[in-house]
């Protein structure tokens, strides 16, 4: 029997060996009951420090917000702007600038993300 592909895991449907051939006639290995993981993309080699998320800090004073810090949108919604990349989850307004809760100055939202 042929294998059944669900998501990214191929599950074999029978203990019996099964041979498949491609459109050019090349044969593949026999099928077994072991699941096979099929990658959905090529893995890129990581450089040191690339796997860490960017550090969030005010580009003007260096203050770093905490998870519990909140900003207000013009629509009245209160949320942590860094949880959504500066997009209000209530009205979907994209804030291009963010006000620092420490120094009260405004700067481009994208400037808050610093890679160490």
**pLDDT tens profile 59-107:** 999 999 999 999 999 999 999 999 999 999 999 999 999 999 999 999 9
In this prediction, residue 114 has a pLDDT band, given cuts at 50, 70 and 90, of confident
In this prediction, residue 54 has a pLDDT band, given cuts at 50, 70 and 90, of confident
Tokens representing residue 99 in the block: 């006000």
Q: Is residue 51 part of a domain?
A: no
> Among candidates 17, 59, 20, 19, which has minimal Cα distance to 34?
17
Q: Residues 70-82: pLDDT tens digits?
A: 999 999 999 999 9
Q: Residues 7-30: pLDDT tens digits?
A: 433 334 343 333 333 334 444 445
Q: Output phi, psi for 110, to 5 deg.
A: -65, -25
Distance CA 75, CA 109 (A): 19
Q: In the predicted model, what is the mean pLDDT of the chain?
A: 74
Tokens representing residue 70 in the block: 């909140």
Q: Is residue 5 part of a domain?
A: yes
Distance CA 92, CA 26 (A): 52
Q: Rounded mean pLDDT of 31-35?
A: 59
Q: Is residue 69 part of a domain?
A: yes
Report whether pLDDT(51) > 80. no
Structure-model confidence comparison of residues 67 and 1, the more confident one:
67
Its domain, for residue 4, covers 1-39
Give the HSE-up count for residue 116: Cα atoms under 13 Å, Cβ half-sphere: 10
Distance CA 59, CA 56 (A): 9
pTM confidence score? 0.55
Q: Is residue 61 part of a domain?
A: yes
Same domain assignment for residues 104 and 70: yes
Same domain assignment for residues 63 and 109: yes
């Amino acid at each position: 029997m042929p294998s059944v592909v669900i998501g990214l895991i191929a599950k074999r449907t029978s203990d019996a060996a099964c041979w498949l051939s491609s459109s050019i006639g090349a044969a593949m290995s026999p099928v077994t009951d072991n699941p096979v993981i099929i990658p959905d993309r090529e893995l890129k080699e990581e450089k040191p420090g690339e796997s860490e998320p960017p550090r969030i800090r005010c580009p003007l004073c260096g203050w770093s917000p905490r998870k519990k810090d909140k900003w207000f949108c013009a629509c009245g919604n209160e949320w942590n702007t860094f949880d959504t990349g500066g997009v209000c989850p209530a009205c979907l307004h994209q804030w291009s600038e963010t006000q620092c809760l420490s120094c009260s100055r405004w700067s481009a939202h994208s400037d808050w993300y610093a890679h160490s």
